[in-house]
């Protein structure tokens, strides 16, 4: 047995030896340099003896430099034979090369021949933006290293996904990128997404960004030992860099959007308030949440359902007794009749169920699943138990996925969802590597979990004067109740269930038999709905940890009472616990399916499929993956996709590819409507197709704060603007103060959803008076500003200007803004300054040297680069109009976004210190991909009091501007209001207009 001390000694020895080996690596020398009209090419040859520290050094490389636009430079270092894996263009299309000349570029590329290094300079100032001479280049078959120097005390952002500070630590810091299921989103670890781009902000010289297009696992190290540096350590791929010059942070964001693609435009209603909870017992509980929001007068735009709706957690199924199709359809119809929407979750892992499960057999027929080398389906363990995973590279997978969506979500016969939620797509696999027997592992883990007890009807009347019309099927039904009590001694892991010949007792189906609780052990109890006035039979079942179960030999009988009656029975179980591991009946997990081995491509010259002979499970260099080995809790990294690519190289693409396939499947259902798809796992460019929620956070103040930095990273740096957190926290127990603050904060993220896990007390907004008041206040403000933020979303989809922006984006010369991560701009001109202290009712707000106006009082506040203190109740959030902006707000809020679009506009003018302001308003039908007509209206206000409205006016919104308000002036802090004219003569949004105020 090896002691811990000797193990650590051995590990230190290996690490020391590796460091010594890296120091001896010779680097490369450049030759055959050929200048082109817009760049250069060169050959790179190993400059000495190979060091082979973490693999085999490649002898011959090529360098290609392209000045693609005036602001963008592309540098790629790849193997001469182009065998090494590169991210497929089908996953991330490359930006067009406009062939910019060196003279027109804002960047300069320089290199040194021996040892080879290169640097990127800003031409206007000569500032060095990137310099790889800090260490020799290493390019091995399973390890690449490239280091660049950074300025002292740099301001660096990005390199996600993580919950570390928004401005990254630059001392002894490692950012690992390897997508994983990261419950609790702990800081200092790799999370769900892969975004290897960083923004380097230098107050004096501007901002630039560096994007490494590489999907392999990597450690990116930032440290100041022997000079400040940033170092890439990747497990493969090539060094494919895009440098963008800025120089303003907003321009950098725009230029990065041209590399990875402009973000998708989402439906207007998607900006409404969403509600979800994992652990819903049945359709009655879902309907009850909808009802309770209505009673509480809190606008609810969209109701979501987690995997609770599925039969035994199988994708594309409904639980026939808890979520029967006709009742789900009745609730969806009710929502649609009341201008609301419905969303459910779809996971990638499909149940390995060979009998009676069409999504499995259809996938087999389409050759759509990942396979082992022998042609059998690759299996893991997720919620349904044993599972298989779609191969998004296989040619039949998209049609298969479309078919399942078209069938299960058919508006006439299925669940008519309005949008989609995809989860677990890192891909998550519960099985610990090596998962040698997933069937046994599924039993040990208890997957699929037993469903909750069945109820007869809703526990509450789902009617209210304000929202009548809940279907009778969703109302309370006549039933009796029986409390079962049975004395039964058990061992750890063994449970007692009651099985009978009625639906709420499983109807003789062991999977649906309700499990009793052992709160008063050894007495097991449970109160269960029963049909009234019926003679029923039942028996107690021992549920064993290995998935087996033991029946009683004889049934008990009972006659239930009238409607509303309750009675108790006390029984003694007639069976004993078996020897651990024995069983009287095993559950059927389905027989393995064996398929013909698929034809696989083999690596050859120029195919970019990856070098042969690599250790795809345990590469010599170990990235700091929080889950341990690369294959742990995910798909084995030696699995080969249909096209010959291996999971080792493409793991980080899995979630993004599922996102694209799912977006296409939604388009297959509704070709004319913008899809709203919210995903957990992302890759660079995912914003082109989907939005993202920030994962399974915790209900604590730290995660409340993390949500701000996460939103800013995805919205302003990664070009995924439809982003938000699980408001009030997913895991753990929230409280009224935290939830009220989060209800206010969440309203100022683009994606706004309350969500939590099962097992915790429910935290819908209506459950505390304080939170309900906060939610009503927050949603009212959000909805009045919805067209303002919808316009910002449209602008980002067209120009890349971020919808949300950190403080330094607006004030790049103010170094005090660099590290601010809890204040930000929502849209072009509304500053949000939330309270972030635990249980605090005050906040310190930084005001740059600029003029602002309090959102609530309209009071002018002159900033001078210092902080002000503000007392803030739990039902409010500090908001400030930034001077120089014009805001088109709805004059009144509404309960749904459909009604909101019928409200008139109120124009708020916040002049800058010179008395001028401008703004814009985009209008369309809010849903269509191809718009029949749109309006893009420009507003301007000059210091002489002239208000103008110009632009395009194609969309007929059938609403008007009913008021124009000018805030303050350069000489007074009071607000003056000028009503345009009376309501019957309000300003129409149909053409140019001007007036003196």
The residues annotated with a catalytic role in the active site are 423, 426, 696
Question: Distance between CA atoms of 758 and 280, rounded to whole angstroms?
Answer: 8
Contact 834, 878 (CB under 8 A): yes
Alpha helices, DSSP H, located in 320-435? 325-337, 358-365, 397-408
Question: Distance between CA atoms of 287 and 334, rounded to whole angstroms?
Answer: 10
How do strand 851-854 and strand 860-862 relate by DSSP bridges?
A: antiparallel
Contact 615, 391 (CB under 8 A): no
Single out the residue of 682, 804, 713, 720 nearest to residue 257, CA to CA.
Answer: 720
Angle at 81 between CA 32 and CA 73, to 5 degrees: 60
Angle at 28 between CA 22 and CA 34, to 5 degrees: 155
Residue 920 phi, psi (nearest 5): -150, 165
Please give, one letter per residue, the 3-state secondary structure of 193-217.
CEEEEEEEEECCCEEEEEEECCCCC
Question: Distance between CA atoms of 745 and 728, rounded to whole angstroms?
Answer: 10
Show Cβ contacts of residue 530 under 8 Å, excluding neighbours closer than 6 positions: 456, 479, 480, 481, 482, 502, 504, 505, 536, 560
Alpha helices, DSSP H, located in 220-282? 249-260
**Dihedral sign, Cα of residue 740, residue 741, residue 744, residue 749:** negative
Residue 350: strand pairing partners: 388
Residue 45 phi, psi (nearest 5): -125, 140
Residue 539: strand pairing partners: 499
- The b-or-e profile of 249-260 (16+ CB within 10 A means b, else e) is bbbbbbbbbbbb
Angle at 497 between CA 493 and CA 498, to 5 degrees: 170
Single out the residue of 779, 781, 831, 777 nearest to residue 804, CA to CA.
Answer: 831
**CB atoms near residue 820 (< 10 Å):** 18
Alpha helices, DSSP H, located in 670-756? 701-712, 736-746
**CB atoms near residue 172 (< 10 Å):** 10
Question: Distance between CA atoms of 376 and 434, rounded to whole angstroms?
Answer: 17
Single out the residue of 648, 646, 654 nearest to residue 618, CA to CA.
Answer: 648
Residue 535: strand pairing partners: 559
Alpha helices, DSSP H, located in 864-997? 897-900
**Dihedral sign, Cα of residue 498, residue 504, residue 507, residue 509:** negative
Q: How far apart are the first and last CA of the chain?
A: 86
Show Cβ contacts of residue 558 under 8 Å, excluding neighbours closer than 6 positions: 482, 535, 536, 538, 569
The helix or strand, by DSSP H or E, that contains position 741, with its residue range, turns out to be helix 736-746
């Amino acid at each position: 047995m090896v002691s811990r001390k000797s193990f650590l000694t051995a590990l230190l020895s290996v690490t020391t030896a590796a460091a010594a080996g890296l120091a001896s690596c010779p680097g490369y020398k450049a030759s055959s340099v050929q200048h082109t009209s817009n760049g250069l090419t060169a050959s790179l040859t190993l400059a000495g003896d190979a060091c082979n520290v973490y693999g085999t050094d490649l002898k011959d490389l090529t360098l290609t430099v392209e000045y693609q636009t005036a602001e963008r430079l592309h540098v790629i270092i790849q193997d001469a034979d182009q065998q090494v894996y590169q991210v497929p263009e089908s996953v991330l299309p490359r930006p067009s090369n406009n062939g910019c000349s060196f003279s027109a570029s804002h960047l300069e590329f320089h290199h040194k021949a021996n040892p080879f290094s290169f640097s990127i300079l800003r031409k206007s100032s000569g500032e060095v933006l990137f310099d790889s001479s800090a260490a020799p280049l290493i390019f091995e078959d399973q390890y690449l290293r490239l280091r660049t120097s950074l300025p002292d005390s740099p301001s660096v952002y990005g390199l996600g996904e993580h919950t570390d500070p928004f401005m990254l630590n630059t001392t002894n810091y490692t950012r690992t990128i390897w997508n994983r299921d990261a419950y609790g989103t702990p800081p200092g670890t790799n999370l769900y997404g892969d975004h290897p781009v960083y923004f380097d902000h230098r107050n004096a010289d501007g901002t630039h960004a560096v994007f490494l297009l590489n999907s392999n696992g990597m450690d990116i190290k930032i440290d100041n030992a022997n000079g400040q540096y940033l170092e890439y350590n990747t497990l493969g791929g090539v060094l494919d860099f895009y440098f963008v010059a800025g120089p303003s942070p907003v321009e950098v964001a725009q230029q990065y959007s041209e590399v990875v693609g402009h973000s998708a435009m989402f439906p207007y209603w998607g900006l409404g308030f969403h509600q979800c909870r994992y652990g819903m017992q049945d359709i009655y509980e879902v309907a009850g949440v909808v009802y309770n929001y209505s009673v509480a007068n809190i606008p609810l735009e969209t109701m979501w359902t987690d995997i609770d709706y599925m039969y035994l957690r199988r994708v594309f199924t409904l639980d026939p007794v808890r979520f029967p199709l006709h009742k789900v359809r009745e609730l969806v119809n009710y929502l649609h009749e009341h201008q609301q929407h419905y969303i459910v979750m779809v996971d990638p892992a499909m149940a390995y169920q060979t009998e009676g499960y069409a999504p499995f057999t259809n996938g087999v027929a389409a050759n759509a699943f990942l396979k082992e080398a022998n042609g059998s389906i690759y299996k893991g363990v997720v919620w349904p138990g044993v599972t298989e995973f779609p191969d998004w590279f296989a040619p039949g997978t998209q049609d298969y996925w479309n078919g399942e969506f078209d069938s299960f979500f058919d508006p006439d016969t299925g669940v008519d969802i309005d949008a989609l939620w995809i989860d677990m797509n890192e891909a998550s696999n519960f099985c610990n590597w090596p998962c040698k027997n997933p069937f046994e592992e599924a039993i040990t883990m208890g997957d699929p979990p037993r469903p909750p007890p069945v109820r007869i009807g809703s526990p509450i009347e789902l009617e209210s004067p304000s929202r009548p019309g809940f279907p009778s099927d969703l109302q309370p039904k006549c039933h009796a109740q029986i409390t079962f009590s049975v004395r039964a001694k058990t061992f750890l892991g063994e449970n007692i269930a009651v099985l009978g010949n009625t639906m709420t007792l499983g109807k003789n189906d062991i999977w649906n038999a309700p499990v009793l609780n052992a709160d008063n052990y050894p007495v097991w109890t449970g109160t269960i709905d029963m049909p009234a006035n019926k003679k029923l039979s039942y028996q107690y079942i021992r549920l064993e940890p290995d998935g087996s179960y033991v029946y009683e030999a004889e049934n008990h009988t009972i006659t239930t009472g009238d409607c509303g009656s309750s009675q108790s029975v006390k029984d003694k179980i007639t069976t004993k616990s078996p020897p651990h591991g024995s069983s009287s009946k095993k559950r059927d997990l389905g027989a393995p399916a064996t398929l013909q081995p698929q034809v696989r491509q083999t690596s050859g010259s120029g195919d970019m499929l990856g070098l042969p002979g690599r250790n795809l499970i345990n590469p010599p260099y170990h990235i700091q993956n929080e889950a341990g080995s690369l294959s742990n809790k995910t798909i084995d990294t030696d699995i080969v996709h249909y096209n010959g690519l291996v999971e080792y190289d493409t793991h980080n693409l899995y979630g993004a590819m599922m996102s694209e396939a799912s977006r296409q499947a939604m388009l297959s259902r509704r070709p004319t409507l913008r899809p709203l798809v919210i995903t957990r796992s992302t890759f660079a460019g995912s914003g082109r197709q989907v939005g993202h929620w920030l994962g399974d956070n915790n209900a604590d103040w730290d995660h409340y704060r993390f949500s701000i930095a996460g939103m800013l990273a995805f919205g302003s740096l990664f070009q995924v603007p439809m982003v938000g957190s699980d408001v009030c926290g997913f895991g753990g127990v929230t409280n009224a103060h935290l939830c009220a603050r989060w209800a206010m904060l969440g309203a100022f993220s683009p994606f706004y959803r309350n969500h939590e896990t099962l097992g915790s007390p429910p935290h819908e907004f209506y459950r505390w008076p304080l939170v309900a008041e906060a939610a009503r206040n927050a949603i009212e403000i959000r909805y009045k500003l919805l067209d303002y933020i919808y316009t910002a979303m449209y602008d980002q989809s067209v120009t890349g200007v971020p919808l949300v922006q950190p403080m330094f984006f607006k004030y790049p010369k103010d170094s005090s803004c660099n590290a601010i991560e809890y204040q930000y701009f929502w849209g072009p001109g509304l500053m949000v300054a939330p309270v972030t202290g635990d249980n605090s009712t005050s906040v310190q707000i930084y005001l740059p040297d600029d003029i602002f106006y309090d959102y609530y009082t309209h009071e002018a506040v002159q900033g001078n680069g210092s902080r002000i203190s503000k007392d803030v109740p739990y039902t409010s959030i500090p908001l400030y109009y930034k001077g120089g902006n014009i805001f088109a707000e709805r004059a009144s809020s509404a309960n749904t976004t459909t009604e909101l679009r019928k409200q008139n506009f109120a124009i708020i003018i916040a002049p800058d210190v010179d008395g001028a302001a401008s703004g814009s308003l985009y209008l369309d039908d809010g849903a269509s991909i191809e718009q029949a007509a749109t309006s893009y209206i420009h507003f301007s206000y000059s210091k002489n009091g002239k208000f103008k409205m110009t632009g395009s006016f194609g969309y007929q919104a059938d609403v008007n501007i009913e008021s124009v308000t000018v805030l303050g002036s350069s000489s007074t802090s009071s607000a003056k209001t000028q009503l345009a004219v009376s309501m019957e003569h309000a300003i129409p949004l149909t053409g140019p207009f001007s007036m003196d105020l």
